[in-house]
Amino acid sequence: MADLETHDFDVIVVGAGGAGLRAAIEAQAQGARTAVICKSLLGKAHTVMAEGGIAASMGNVWSEDNWQVHFRDTMRGGKMLNNWRMAQLHAQEAPDRVLELEEWGALFDRTKEGLISQRDFGGHRYARLAHVGDRTGLEMIRTLQQRAVSQGMAVFMECKVHKLILDEGRVAGALAYWRETGRFVLFRAKAVILATGGIGKAWQVTSNSWEYTGDGHSLALSTGADLIDMEFVQFHPTGMVWPPSVRGILVTESVRGDGGVLRNTDGKRFMFDYIPEVFAAETADSEAEADRWYEDHINNRRPPELLPRDEVARAINSEVKAGRGTEHGGVYLDIASRRSADFIRRRLPSMYHQFKELADVDITATPFEIGPTCHYVMGGVKVDADTAQSTIPGLYAAGEVAGGMHGSNRLGGNSLGDLLVFGRRAGLAAAEYAQGLGAAPQVADSEVDRLTAEALDPFNRTTGENPYSLQYELQDTMHKLVGIIRVRSELEEAIEKVGQLKERAKNVAVEGHRQFNPGWHLALDLESLLTVSEAVARCALLREESRGGHTRDDFPSTSGYWSKINNTIHRDSTGETTITQEPLPEMPDELKALFEEPAK
Amino acid sequence: MTDVSTDSPRSASKGPDMVNMQVWRGDASGGDFKLYEVEYREGEVVLDVIHRIQATQANDLGVRWNCKAGKCGSCSAEINGLPRLMCMTRMSTFEPGQDITVAPMKTFPVMKDLVTDVSFNYEMAKRIPAFQPKPKDADGKRRMAQRDVERSQEFRKCIECFMCQNVCHVIRDHDENKVHFAGPRFLMRIAELEMHPHDTGDRIPLAREELGLPYCNITKCCTEVCPEHIHITDNALIPMKERVVDRYFDPITRLGRAIRRKR
Amino acid sequence: MAVTTVQAGRGTRPAQNLRVDRWWLQPALTAAGLTAFVIYSTWSTFTPHDYFAGATVGRDYLSPFFSPCITNRCGAGTTWHLVNWWPFSAAILMLPFPLMFRGTCYYYRKAYYRSFWFSPPACAVPEPHGKYTGESRFPLLVQNLHRYALYLVIPFPIILLWEAWKGTHMITVSAAGSLVTSRGLGLGTLILFVNALLLLTYTLSCHSCRHLCGGHLNALSKGPTRYWLWKRVSFLNEHHMGLAWVSLVAVGLTDVYVRLVASGAIHDPRFF
């Protein structure tokens, strides 16, 4: 403890993605002494992966657009399970947040009139996504990064927050370690903003980066803050599963729209076996009819490959589980044998180039292996909509790590807006809280000593579990049992397996020394991964319905009871985790009225 | 229509091959290449193989990476001597049977193994004054034509992999230039701001006098290694050099500017 | 502005060149190409005969190395008779301008910095100099004058076009024994035209030209004409390196061809 590097701040922000940087910029602008702590280098956060754009009803393309319409789209997309106030604030404030980025140097694509251009996206009634080609996330992160730098922000890069420290139930600081040296560093802070992103690394096939280990979810839970809605995880039915260089990368639905079909390892076009009763009337029941549809939409019914997302996912899932999937757990998406190379290159240029460049997979020449890929978690830290404060005083959460905003399913384009709107609100509220706090909370030396000793434990074992193997087994379990389609027996099996892995993780051993040691870092991240995996599996078991990102094979429809319920996860001081069913906050009448007019 | 089961499974058709990877291991005090014999499969990239070494043979192998899709610019290294993103370098591009060397970027001090201390870049970023917008239009909106933002948009594709900084001989081969040469990435950042249709700042004296634009001898290695295929030299550095000429070396354009200002 | 302290730490990694490809090939080819041209053009400059194919071979072709010829030393090939006292090869009067233009050209700078100065010889290959100041001080500071070289050299391709036009003069001997001039087209005329066009394209594709046309503007939409020009020059500029080489080879070959015709070594075919 004596030679421990120590820093004092009013507000520390954990994570330097869109939400973290926006929060830090705001907190500092309010006069709070602020620092950003991030696992990677500044500017590398997962936000850079966002392609579509920022949904904001600026009305540059459609003057009819306004926040009410955006709000309604968001709530409908989330199957009405969203925190209405968050959805409202998001829809109201997103335009200002986008314009603010422009004042900070962002260069969005323009309309003919010279205003910010807005594009269409699924689930949004009007074209409203402000964008820069297909790299909007990069533009956002770079703009925020440059803004933070110009404010002289203190940034602690490649520094991982290991545990939060409380004093009398309030936030007092955080213990972190430098990834480079492995040395510990203590941040004494009056307020902490979690902006750590998602949890995708708990699954084998994911579009998420290595950082998405659920750190913020786990830090919040272990501090006594509540999580909500952890069963809602967004999967995409067609992600690449092989080769490894592109595993998890999304394959756009237009591959199927342009003639791509799904086949199992027997070469059978299996979707015909999975046409549900409700879609039977509008879906082709023979290959001949389905193939005619591409040329003649009027006299033929749609191919079954174009059934809704969850039906396609369920079919793929069933084929793989019946042993007719590839060895990597996918099925074949075949457009190569059905369309000319020229046609494919013309219709799907970015798909073609991406896979050609990254993996030398020529989608015009061979079928490729696809399967469900994990993309986004809707659930997260339970926060107050206006302030982004968690249930612990001084602890805030913004962005993907916070729950409620997206309900059971997120609309494309709503994630970047979420980062900005609630990042700013968290920064504002945290600065105000910190400045209003009299004496700074105290960090007990004994607590720091205990936490550092615990973190170094893996070095003390000469034999033990390999962290990489444990992570692999966890990912395998989650992928097979808590994937896109869920069923009671598998969820129960998953909970048991995760429990066993938790026990084995206590005996993890690492080789080498503390300096930039990824094995050790992974050993510490395992705790977060296991925590969120357990939360997802347990919530998924409880919610006996299918809604948004949660699909139960044994409960295929929505339930009236669950339409009004948030699963709320709490861990008490003994480490016991309980999940309770809390009623959804009631929407005021004037907002309810928005849903009475029929959607056009 | 072909039968998928007979002619396609690209992964099952071929077992893993073995490859000799010469990976630089060490830290600030020194180090050397270490040989790893490791399997690889069709369609893998260098980063996949490095990860396999990490998971099976050297848990503590230091390597920086994030998105693994060529979008974040974290996994820069020198593969067979050339700066490349490990996630964008396919194993199939190498001659079978040849050793492949993977070394950390040379221009920056090694922290551990393939991880280098790139703080030089973050320090340089701080020295460039931020965007200084001119006032919005009278109706409170900001209007810019697409053709006016396109040049700067190209530079904003930069993913900050720092390979242009690494390959630039001005600092790669001459440490002493690190105090007065910002490198291609940050001279390009200045170009981006200078060409911004609504920026009111003036960073030309800074580029010339403090951040080393005249050190650039336009040998274009920055452009050659850019994974985003940004034309750093032709579209950013040379136009900046031309703007320096406008300001300091060309009385004719100076005269033109003076006349225009008076009008 | 306060100067931030920047760690000047050398990487601890060994400094050797780890490239295994044939990185030396390109600088070697560049060096060979440039050397060959310098040797040939020097020889040509100091071989001041047979650079004009005139009446004796029935043509009116002047080698581009000697064009425009402003001395009385070119005989009938003189473009403008301005100088009487020049005792040396006419090429020496004119070659410095294109030489200055190419010498300060952004592409040729890259080419010779790499292949002759080894600064650097190829990407990620160590350069063998202890110290490097680039173009920040004299003499390389002079590279900033590229724009003036452009101003000076712009008339040249236009004069060459005119010379090519003159090359349509086909000279024949009439039955009465007098010289008759008629319009026609020989292979040499075509060569002169192509050469002049290539030189014009190379000149227009110059980075300085691109800047002057519109690159200096921040709001290109405010100058539609300049934007139009800038777009075209930018397109040419993308091929600046190719144009630099093609036009260099063309000017050399044109000189060779004119000399071959002038010396009577070959007969210039006439198309009409």
Instruction: Give per-residue pLDDT as tens, B94-130.
Output: 988 899 999 999 999 999 999 999 999 999 999 999 9
Q: What share of chain C is helix, strand, coil (3-state, %, to 5)?
A: 55, 5, 40
Is the ipTM here above 0.95? no
Question: Inter-chain contact B130–A369, Cβ cutoff 8 Å?
Answer: no
Residues in CB range of B247: below 8 A, 6 or more apart: B204, B205, B208, B254
d(CA A166, CA B219): 56
For the cut 60, the answer to whether the pLDDT of residue B5 exceeds it is no
Find the closest chain B residue to A103 by CA distance: B133
Ordered DSSP codes for A224-253: T--EE-TT-EEEEEEEE-SSGGGTT-B--T
Residue of A nearest to B127 (CA): A150
Instruction: Specify the pLDDT at position C71.
Output: 87
Domain A235-373 fold is: Flavocytochrome C3; Chain A, domain 1 (3.90.700)
**What six digits make up the tokens of A486?**
């869920």
Task: Measure in Å the smallest separation between the Cα of A271 and chain B Cα atoms.
Answer: 15
Say if the Cβ atoms of C21 and B239 lie within 8 Å: no
- From the CA atom positions of chain A, what is the Rg in Å? 24
Residues of A classed as catalytic: 236, 256
B66: closest CA of chain C, how far (Å): 23
Distances (CA, A) of C144 to B214, C137, C206, C217: 10, 11, 14, 19
Which residues of chain C register pLDDT less than 50? 1-9
Distance CA(C53)–CA(C76), nearest Å, equals 9
- Which of C6, C20, C131 lies at the smallest CB-CB distance from B123? C6
Task: Give the model confidence (pLDDT) of A466-502 as tens digits.
Answer: 999 999 999 999 999 999 899 999 999 999 999 999 9
Q: Which residues pair with B30 in a beta bridge?
A: B27
Q: Cα distance from C212 to chain B (closest Cα, Å)?
A: 9
Q: At what angle do helices B238-248 and B184-194 cross, to 10 degrees?
A: 60
User: In whole angstroms, what is the distance from residue C248 CA to residue C195 CA?
Assistant: 9
Q: Is A210 on the interface with B (CB under 8 A)?
A: yes
Helix axes C146-153, B238-248, angle to 10 degrees: 90
Average pLDDT of the residues in A255-272: 91
Distances from the Cα of B161 to the Cα of A301, B48, B174, B214, C229, angstroms: 49, 18, 20, 23, 34
Neighbours of chain A (3+ CB pairs under 8 A): B
CATH number of A456-564: 1.20.58.100
Beta partners for residue B199, in sequence order = B133
Judged by DSSP in three states, A165 sits in strand
Say if A517 is an interface residue toward chain B (CB within 8 Å): yes
d(CA B142, CA B147): 15
To the nearest whole Å, the CA of A239 is away from the closest chain B CA by 13
The answer to whether the CB atoms of B145 and C221 lie below 8 A apart is: yes
Neighbours of chain B (3+ CB pairs under 8 A): A, C
DSSP, residue by residue, A423-481: HHHHHHHHHHHHHH-SSPPPPPHHHHHHHHHHHHGGGG-SS-B-HHHHHHHHHHHHHHH
Confidence of residue B263 (pLDDT cuts 50, 70, 90): low
Amino acid A233 reads V
Q: What is the mean pLDDT of residues A52-73?
A: 94
**Nearest Cα residue in chain C from B116:** C11
Quickly state the pLDDT bin for A600 (edges 50, 70, 90): very low
Which residue in B98, B127, B246 is closest to C1 by CB distance?
B127
With an 8 Å Cβ cutoff, are B173 and C21 in contact?
Answer: no
* B244-254 tens-digit pLDDT: 999 999 888 77
Average pLDDT, chain A: 93
What does the pLDDT read at residue A201? 95
Q: Is A486 helix (H, G, I), strand (E, B) or coil?
A: strand
Length of chain A: 600
Which residues lie closer than 8 Å to A184 by C-beta, 6 or more apart? A4, A5, A162, A175, A176, A177, A448, A452, A455
User: If DSSP codes are grouped into helix, strand and coil, which group holds residue A137?
Assistant: helix
Least confident of A570-579, A590-599, B92-101, C103-112: A590-599
Non-local CB neighbours of C81 within 8 Å, separated by 6+ positions: C70, C71, C72
The gap from C-alpha A86 to its chain's centroid, in whole angstroms, comes to 17
Answer yes or no: do B74 and A44 touch at CB < 8 A.
yes
**Using the beta-carbon criterion (under 8 Å), do B242 and C211 form an inter-chain contact?**
yes
Q: Cβ of A467 under 8 Å from any chain B Cβ?
A: yes
Q: Looking at residue A1, what is its pLDDT? A: 56
Q: What is the H or E stretch that residue C229 is in?
A: helix C224-237
| pLDDT value of residue B215 | 97
* Average pLDDT of the residues of chain C: 90
Of B82, B106, B224, the CB nearest to C13: B106
Give the CA count within 13 Å in the CB-facing half-sphere of A271: 29
Instruction: Write down the pLDDT at residue B6.
Output: 38
What is the pLDDT, as a whole number, of residue C22?
94
- Please spell the DSSP secondary structure of A44-69, one letter per residue: -SGGGG--S-EE----SS-TT--HHH
How big is the CA angle at C160 (ends C157 and C164), to the nearest 5 degrees? 140
What is the pairing mode between strands A34-37 and A5-14?
A: parallel
The span from the CA of C246 to the CA of B22, in Å, is 42
Q: Are A228 and A404 in contact (CB under 8 A)?
A: yes
Cα(C57)–Cα(C261) distance, integer angstroms: 7
Q: A211, B66: Cβ pair inside 8 Å?
A: yes
pLDDT of residue A530: 97
Whether B8 has a pLDDT exceeding 50, the answer reads: no
Structural tokens at position C22 = 């044939």
Does the pLDDT value for residue A504 go beyond 80? yes
CB contact under 8 A, B43 and A242: yes
Q: Which of B132, B134, B173, B206 to probe the C interface (max C CBs under 10 A)?
A: B173
Closest CA to B78 of B107, B56, B55: B107
Crossing angle for the helix pair A467-481 and A518-542, to the nearest 10 degrees: 20
The band of A597, judged by pLDDT with boundaries at 50, 70 and 90, is low
What residues have CB less than 8 Å from C272, skipping those under 6 apart? Answer: C184, C185
Partner-chain residue, chosen from B110, B169, B238, that has the shortest CB–CB distance to C119: B169
Confidence of residue A294 (pLDDT cuts 50, 70, 90): confident
Q: Give pLDDT, residue A545.
A: 96
* Cβ pairs bridging A and B (under 8 Å): 196
Q: Does B176 touch chain C (CB under 8 A)?
A: yes
Instruction: Say if the Cβ atoms of C134 and B28 lie within 8 Å.
Output: no
Q: How many whole angstroms separate alpha carbon A517 and alpha carbon B59?
A: 8
b/e string for A186-200 if b means 16 or more Cβ within 10 A?
bbbbbbbbbbbbbbb
Question: Do B173 and C127 make contact, defined as CB atoms within 8 angstroms?
Answer: yes
The model carries a pTM of 0.92
Residues of C in contact with B219 (CB under 8 A): 110, 113-114, 119-120
Token couple for A182: 């492995």
Q: pLDDT-derived band of residue A563, with 50, 70 and 90 as boundaries?
A: very high
Token pair listed for C137 = 């001080």
Separation of alpha carbons B165 and B189, rounded Å: 13
CB pairs under 8 A between B and C: 185
pLDDT at A282: 87
Task: Give pLDDT, residue A2.
Answer: 58
The SS3 of residue C218 is coil
Cβ separation A326–B54 shorter than 8 A: no
Written in H, E and C, the secondary structure of chain B is CCCHHHHCCCCCCCCCEEEEEEEEEEECCEEEEEEEEEEECCCCEHHHHHHHHHHHCCCCCCCCCCCCCCCCCCCEEEECCEEEEHHHCEHHHCCCCCCEEEECCCCCCEEECCEECCHHHHHHHHCCCCCCECCCCCCCCCCCCHHHHHHHHHHCCCCCCCHHHHHCHHHHCCHHHHHCCCCHHHHHHHHHHHCCCCECCCCHHHHHHHCCHHHCCCCCHHHHHCCCCCCHHHHHHHHHHHHHHHHHCCHHHHHHHHHHHHC
Residue type, A218: S
Rounded (to 5) percent helix, strand, coil in chain A: 40, 20, 40
Nearest to B82 among C12, C124, C216 (CB): C124
* Owner of token pair 């009671």: A488
pLDDT digits (tens, 9 = 90+) for C195-239: 999 999 999 999 999 999 999 999 999 999 999 999 999 999 999
Quick one: which of A144, A157, A170 has its CA closest to A35?
Answer: A157
> Which of B10, B41, B44 lies nearest to residue A366, judging by beta carbons?
B10
* B3 contacts on A by Cβ (under 8 Å): 267
Rounded to whole angstroms, how far apart are CA atoms A517 and A524?
A: 11
**Gap between the Cα atoms of B105 and B163, Å rounded:** 8
Chain B contact probe: residue of C4, C7, C13, C145 with most B CBs at under 10 A? C13
User: Mind listing the domains of chain B with CATH numbers?
Assistant: 17-116 (3.10.20.30), 119-262 (1.10.1060.10)
Query: Three-state SS across C166-186?
Result: HCCEEEEECCCCCEEEEECCE
Q: Looking at chain A, which residue has its C-alpha nearest residue B133?
A: A103
Q: Determine, for residues B148 and C221 on separate chains, whether the beta-carbon distance falls below 8 Å.
A: yes
- pLDDT bracket for residue A22 (50, 70, 90): very high
Calpha distance A97→A399 (Å, rounded): 14
- Which tokens hold the place of B1? 């229509």
Q: Which residues of B touch A510 (CB under 8 A)?
A: 59-60
Task: Report which of B103, B86, B95 is spatially closest to residue B26, judged by C-alpha positions.
Answer: B103
| Cβ atoms of residues B61 and B48 within 8 Å | no
DSSP category for residue A72:
H
Domain residue ranges in chain A:
235-373, 456-564
